[in-house]
Structure formats: C-alpha cells, structure tokens
Amino acid sequence: MSDPALGAIFAVGAVASLSASWGLVSSLERIGARVGLSEALLGMLAALAADAPEITAAVTALIRGEDRIGAGVILGSNVFNIAALIGLAGIVAGFIALHRRVVELGGAVAVWIAVIALLLVVGVLAPIAALLLALAVFLPYVLVLGLSGERIERLPLARSWTRWLRAAITEEEKELEPAIHPRPGTSRDVLLAGAMILIVVGASIAMERSGSSLGERHGVPQIVVGGIVLAAVTSLPNAVAGVYLALRGRASAVLSTSLNSNAINVLAGLLIPTTFVGIGAASAQTTFVASAALAMTLLALVFAYSRRGFARAEGIALVVAYLLFVVVLTVTAS
C-alpha cells in the first residue's frame, strides 16, 4: 500500500476514533447518571471512555508483538495527558484552585500505578504481579468512590481515616460536579454507546496499523511512533476537554480526570494485555518513557499540593517538560 493511502487511513482512523470516543463519553455519562452513579464514578467512567483510542491502539500493538509501540502509546499518552489536561488548562484558566485532600487521594493512587508501570517495563515485576499490585490499590479506590458518606464512616478503619476519606471524596465530587452533569440516559444511549465502541475499536486498530507501517517503512523507531505520534493523537480528546473545562471555569476537574485517565490507561492498556501476551525485554527507550510518566505525575502533584492548585507558570512548566520529553525521546531513539 502506498504512503498516501496509509496516511489517508491514519487520518480517517484518527478522526473517526476521536469523534466516536467523544460520543462514547457522553452516552456513558448519561447511562451512569441513569443508574445513579456518584459524580466521582461518573468521572471515572468518562475517563475510561476517553481512553478507548489509546487503549485499543496499545492492545493491538502488544498482541502483534510490537512492545515498544504498545507500551509507548500508553506511557507516552500519560505524559501527554498531564501536559495537555493540567498544563494547558492552567495556562488558559490562569489559576486552578484544588483541595489538598483530592491531591493526596488521587495522587497516591496515580503514583502507585506509575511506579508499578516503571517496574514492569524494566523487568523487575512480572505482568501478573504488576497487575495484582495495581488492582490491590485501584479497586478499593474505585469502590470507595461509589460509597455514600455514611457508608464510608462505617468502614473498618480508624475514625480519623474514615473522616479523612469522606472529606476527600466529598471535595473531589465538588470539583467534578460542575464539569459532569449529564441527563439520565435511555435505551438509545445504550445502543449509541455500543455503536461508538465498535467505531473506536475499528478506527483505532486501523490507525495503529497504518501508523506502524508508515513508521517501519521510513525507519521511524517504534518508541517514537507509539510514545509520541500515536500517544498524542489518541489523547487529543483529553486536551480538548481540558481546554473546554478551563474556558468555562470548571478547570478544577482536570486533576482528577487526568490522574484517573492515566491509571485506567496503565491497567487496561498495559497491565491486563501483557498478563496474557507478555512483554518484551527491557529497553532504555521504554524505561525512559515510563520514567517520564512517573516524573510528570510527581511534578504535577508537587505543583498542585504546594500551591493548592495550578497557576499559569506551573501550566507552562508542564508543557515545557513535555516538549523536552519529545525532544529527548526523538533524539535518543534516532
């Protein structure tokens, strides 16, 4: 197949995948509202839907044995998400006020999973061990997000812990509430979600295959194709969402959205598939991308905690850090 044809397939796949993922987010939010999910769980559901393109592209690559593309898509998109959601939102909004408990709760889970992803790609953890360790923290986190304040108070934990958890989740929902307010869904939304999933999966597979073929034909390293090109393209809905929220004064939702999105990315796009298909030998390139994802997460959390939010300067710093990541990865991979 000629280069123009592959380029056309990539472009059409990108547009179709991103458009369908946007529709998928909306329909799943309405379905979640229909069944009575909390604001925090609605945010988690929206993050999962928005992650569908990068997860599908990564799983496709991993199944085909293209480990650097697969790992690069997930970990590179996590680096991009922090710069695009938090960084751009901070630049546009000027200042984003955040609750420190939200930073602590979501940040602890995000750092845990980012560390596990790094230990997986360097070969310290086997895929099944990495998956179990990630689920040991992520599943309780999701379960607690769905509990009412009264039920949190009854958890078998110290009184100070239950009060802290209740306050953290209440504050997270206050941040998410202005950004997530869907009407209750209908059977039409269920059908729409099913159709959007099929489009996202098909388009993302086509995008990954055409991008991989073009990269191979022109000698572009797999880690660049996955960690920069596919990672950025498949994560564009997150960037658009971050700017959208910031322009409408709802930017406080971007931290939770970004951290939850990155955690889901690693679980669904890296840990679960590698448990079944395995992962290749460690390489300096994938180690760098995984390290960058962890470093960007820590940098964003330090900014958020120390300032109780993000100012424009912190947003610029995150975007510059991402650009440096792109330059270093491109140069070292070449």
| Amino acid (1-letter code) at residue 191 | L
Number of C-beta neighbours around residue 100 at 10 A: 15
- What's the pLDDT score for residue 128? 96
Q: Determine the pLDDT at residue 279.
A: 85
Tell me, what's the pLDDT at 11? 82
Give yes or no for a contact between 270 and 78, defined as CB atoms under 8 angstroms apart.
Answer: no
| pLDDT tens series, the chain, 334 aa | 787 887 888 888 777 877 776 676 677 667 766 766 666 666 677 777 777 788 888 888 888 888 888 888 999 999 999 998 888 888 888 887 888 888 888 899 999 999 999 999 999 999 999 999 999 999 999 888 877 777 787 888 788 888 888 888 777 777 666 555 556 767 787 787 788 778 877 877 887 788 788 778 878 888 888 888 888 888 877 777 667 666 666 666 778 888 888 999 999 999 999 999 988 788 899 999 999 999 999 999 999 898 888 888 999 999 999 999 999 999 988 7
pLDDT at 120: 96
CATH code for the structural domain at 3-333: 1.20.1420.30
φ and ψ at 85, to 5 degrees?
A: -75, -60
Query: What pLDDT does 280 receive?
Result: 79
CA distance linking residue 19 with residue 188, whole number of Å: 18
pLDDT of amino acid 146: 77
